[in-house]
Amino acid sequence: MAKYDVVVVGGGPGGSLAAKTASEKGLKTIMIERGRKIGDKSSSGCGLAPRIFRDFDFIKKMNIPGIKIKYQSMHMLDENLEERFMIRWSTSDLAEYPEAREFFQFDVYRRDFDRFLAELASEAGAEIRTATLASGVLKDSRGQVTGIITDKGEKVEGDITIAADGAVSKIAYQAGLRDKWRPDEITLVVDCDFQASRARMDELIGPEEYCNQVYVSPLYPATYVAMMPEGFHVGLGQWVGRFASGFGERPYEYLRRVISSGTLKRFIDRLQARPREFHAHLLPWMPRMPTNTYGGGIMLVGDAAGFACPLEAEGIHYAMVSGKLAAEVAAEAISKGDVSASGLRLYEERWKNSIIGEEFSTAKEWAEFWAGIYFDPRQWTKITPLANNLMFWASWSNPHIRNLRREISRYSEDVPFILEFAKSYIYPLLQRSQIPLFRSLLKLGWMWLRTKKRKGIQLETEG
Ligand SMILES: Cc1cc2nc3c(=O)[nH]c(=O)nc-3n(C[C@H](O)[C@H](O)[C@H](O)COP(=O)(O)OP(=O)(O)OC[C@H]3O[C@@H](n4cnc5c(N)ncnc54)[C@H](O)[C@@H]3O)c2cc1C
């Protein structure tokens, strides 16, 4: 039976960072991946956050095809899936560091990125075993995890097991750290990978003009288009527990509808893009601070711990950060000779004090914002016309002052909706973010609304 200091399960970004860091700390480390090759089992493309380039020096060595995304756009569609309003914006001077001022995301194929990270882990000394499924955990008489058992029945012992086995973490479950995800903690994302010629994309889009897009409509939850080195991805998702309400039963049917109509169809046609692969993935999207991320002899990292961002479910950076933190704590715990749950509590303290804890401090508010706006198609029956009417004053239909008057009177009818909206989704965020001026303004607005309500004015609400 093989014996290691650290057994890492999963060869995604979390696993590779854990294996790389543990090996650099001098620990005998193995990383076990079920795919035949690293990256085989991942969703096929992703955007890397600029902070990955700020936080991880080794990224400078990365030499894989990618696209710097310098623009983002949001497209609001009506019930006929025709675009009624669109905004596009670029990176901002407000960003704190150069990479974030330069691009929103660096879009790459996961196959390339995961392999790049795994190679770093291997160079650092980690043993990498692919085509091997970790099917269970080994435990000692006190219930402390002492390694894993593979699908071939091989026992792989380790002082510490780091579970980086993704959203459906068998290891977390078997270690007794988690039951199944609750339906409001996990989403199903379906996406289609389109192939297009890069030369044609450069010609039609412009090499410096690549833009990731979001489409919202009353007919399906928000859909994203992410540009990739040889094409793009179109995807949409929803919390598993909300399938029946507002999402329907068949996610692929929504995807088909999105890509076969309106602006997006014209975009696909212009690029002469062809669907290459469909995927369906589970992705944790936690409306609260994750819990139970460690136990005796074990730590959970990345998606296995529920660390995807609660606003947009961006998870690669957090997987990398948590993988690194877990390996650092493993090295300290092993050197102190205490790999019990109390010895590994430090891991939770560390990630809570990191950028992960900071993001999750407003998890509830961000998740509710997303659930109530982007994942709720009903909102767009109201918001799209509101946005569309914003520019009505510029219409040549009548003298502009007459148009402006109509526009303002239309907006005053919608004040109750706007304030309800702000109260439900914006105010809770501002309240948590402690921006006093905005809080006070919203409070005043809300008090004004309550006075109106008391006077018997009927307010429209969603639904
Ligand atoms: C459609 C989609 C699009 C996304 N886009 C982005 C994006 O653009 N940017 C971003 O930052 N995040 C994105 N995310 C989230 C991101 O993919 C995850 O947060 C991230 O991959 C988590 O990394 P991880 O290492 O924890 O897990 P994973 O990347 O899921 O890796 C887990 C690995 O463990 C292996 N494994 C699983 N079980 C076992 C087992 N029992 N034994 C052995 N091996 C096992 C798997 O094969 C896999 O290689 C997206 C997610 C989805 C679903």
Q: What does DSSP say about strands 2-9 and 29-32: parallel, antiparallel, or unpaired?
A: parallel
Q: Which of 7, 20, 33 to mutate to test the pocket of ligand 1 (most atoms within 8 A of CB)?
A: 33
- 141-150 pLDDT per residue, tens: 999 999 999 9
Distance 165 CA to ligand 1 centre (A): 8
Identity of the highest mean pLDDT range in 310-314, 400-404, 419-423: 400-404
Q: Is residue 161 part of a domain?
A: yes
pLDDT at 243 > cutoff 90: no
Does 341 or 452 have the greater pLDDT score? Answer: 341
| Strand-pair partners of 195 | 231, 274
Listed residue (353, 300, 354) closest to 323, CA to CA: 300
Listed residue (327, 324, 330, 328) closest to 356, CA to CA: 324
Does 266 or 43 have the greater pLDDT score? Answer: 266
Number of continuous H segments (helices) and E segments (strands) in the chain: 17, 18
CB environment 272-284: b (16+ within 10 A), e (fewer): ebeeeeeeebbbb
- 389-403 pLDDT per residue, tens: 999 999 999 999 999
Q: Is residue 226 part of a domain?
A: no
Is 14 near ligand 1, meaning CB less than 6 Å away?
Answer: yes
415 and 329 fall within a common domain: no
Is 283 near ligand 1, meaning CB less than 6 Å away?
Answer: yes
17 and 144 fall within a common domain: yes
Q: Tell me, letter by letter, the H, E, C secondary structure of 118-172.
A: HHHHHHHCCEEECCCCEEEEEECCCCCEEEEEECCCCEEEEEEEEECCCCCCHHH
Q: What does DSSP say about strands 298-300 and 294-295: parallel, antiparallel, or unpaired?
A: antiparallel
- What stretch of H or E contains 411? helix 400-413
Is 11 near ligand 1, meaning CB less than 6 Å away?
Answer: yes
Q: Is residue 394 part of a domain?
A: yes
Q: Is residue 85 part of a domain?
A: no
Is 66 near ligand 1, meaning CB less than 6 Å away?
Answer: no
Q: Is residue 208 part of a domain?
A: no
Does 42 or 302 have the greater pLDDT score? Answer: 302
Neighbours of 82 (CB within 10 A): 11
Q: Look at residue 451 in the predicted model and tell me its pLDDT.
A: 75
Contacts of 424 (CB under 8 A, 6+ apart): 368, 372
Q: Which of 43, 138, 193 to mutate to test the pocket of ligand 1 (most atoms within 8 A of CB)?
A: 43
Least confident of 91-105, 156-170, 212-226, 328-342: 212-226
Least confident of 175-179, 217-221, 450-454: 450-454
Q: Look at residue 338 in the predicted model and tell me its pLDDT.
A: 97
In this prediction, residue 435 has a pLDDT band, given cuts at 50, 70 and 90, of low
Q: Are 43 and 281 in contact (CB under 8 A)?
A: yes
Listed residue (288, 265, 283) closest to 275, CA to CA: 265
pLDDT at 233 > cutoff 60: yes
User: In the listed set 346, 362, 378, which residue is the last one of a domain according to the structure?
Assistant: 362
Q: Look at residue 439 in the predicted model and tell me its pLDDT.
A: 65
121 and 167 fall within a common domain: yes
Q: Are 304 and 165 in contact (CB under 8 A)?
A: yes
Atom number, ligand 1, closest to the C-alpha of residue 284: 19
Q: Are 287 and 367 in contact (CB under 8 A)?
A: yes
| Segments in 231-362 forming alpha helices (H) | 251-259, 262-270, 316-336, 341-352, 355-360
For residue 199, give the amino acid letter.
A
In this prediction, residue 421 has a pLDDT band, given cuts at 50, 70 and 90, of confident
Neighbours of 401 (CB within 10 A): 9
Output DSSP code: residue 30.
Answer: E
Q: How far apart, in whole angstroms, are the C-alpha atoms of residue 58 and residue 205?
A: 31
380 and 343 fall within a common domain: no
Neighbours of 360 (CB within 10 A): 22
Both tokens assigned to 316: 């690669």
The number of CA neighbours under 13 Å toward the Cβ of 66 is 21
Q: Are 195 and 230 in contact (CB under 8 A)?
A: yes
C-alpha 449: how far from chain center: 35
Listed residue (65, 12, 8) closest to 37, CA to CA: 12
319 and 443 fall within a common domain: no
Is 315 near ligand 1, meaning CB less than 6 Å away?
Answer: yes
- 269-295 pLDDT per residue, tens: 999 999 999 999 999 999 999 999 999
305 and 396 fall within a common domain: no
Q: How far apart, in whole angstroms, are the C-alpha atoms of residue 213 and residue 224?
A: 6
15 and 160 fall within a common domain: yes
In this prediction, residue 241 has a pLDDT band, given cuts at 50, 70 and 90, of confident
Helix axes 13-24, 316-336, angle to 10 degrees: 30
pLDDT at 442 > cutoff 70: no
User: In the listed set 362, 380, 397, which residue is the last one of a domain according to the structure?
Assistant: 362
Both tokens assigned to 212: 């990731």
Q: Is residue 228 part of a domain?
A: no
| Strand-pair partners of 382 | none
In this prediction, residue 461 has a pLDDT band, given cuts at 50, 70 and 90, of very low
Output DSSP code: residue 426.
Answer: I
Q: Which of 8, 36, 42, 152 to mutate to test the pocket of ligand 1 (most atoms within 8 A of CB)?
A: 42
Residue matched to tokens 């543990």: 22
Q: How far apart, in whole angstroms, are the C-alpha atoms of residue 50 and residue 27?
A: 30
- 340-397 pLDDT per residue, tens: 999 999 999 999 999 999 999 999 999 998 888 888 888 999 999 999 999 999 999 9
Q: Look at residue 344 in the predicted model and tell me its pLDDT.
A: 98
Q: What is the mean pLDDT of the chain?
A: 91
352 and 369 fall within a common domain: no
In this prediction, residue 446 has a pLDDT band, given cuts at 50, 70 and 90, of confident
What length does the chain have?
A: 463
Q: Is residue 274 part of a domain?
A: no
pLDDT at 184 > cutoff 60: yes
Inter-CA distances, 246 with 186, 282, 283, 377, Å: 16, 19, 19, 7
Sign of torsion over alpha carbons 428, 429, 434, 435: negative
For residue 133, give the amino acid letter.
L
Average pLDDT over residues 437-460: 66
Q: Is residue 231 part of a domain?
A: no
Kindly state the percentage of the chain with pLDDT values over 70: 93
Q: Look at residue 455 in the predicted model and tell me its pLDDT.
A: 65
Q: How far apart, in whole angstroms, are the C-alpha atoms of residue 355 and residue 314?
A: 13
302 and 421 fall within a common domain: no
Q: How far apart, in whole angstroms, are the C-alpha atoms of residue 262 and residue 260?
A: 7
**Structural domain count, the chain:** 2
User: In the listed set 341, 362, 383, which residue is the last one of a domain according to the structure?
Assistant: 362
352 and 386 fall within a common domain: no
Phi, psi of 205 (to 5 degrees): -95, -40
CATH of the domain at 292: 3.50.50.60
372 and 416 fall within a common domain: yes
The residue segments making up the domain with residue 330 are: 2-64+94-183+287-362
pTM across the whole model: 0.92
Kindly state the percentage of the chain with pLDDT values over 90: 72
Q: Look at residue 463 in the predicted model and tell me its pLDDT.
A: 33
Q: Look at residue 249 in the predicted model and tell me its pLDDT.
A: 56
- 13-57 pLDDT per residue, tens: 999 999 999 999 999 999 999 999 998 866 678 999 999 999 999
Both tokens assigned to 392: 């009505």
143 and 106 fall within a common domain: yes
Atom number, ligand 1, closest to the C-alpha of residue 171: 41
Average pLDDT over residues 188-192: 92
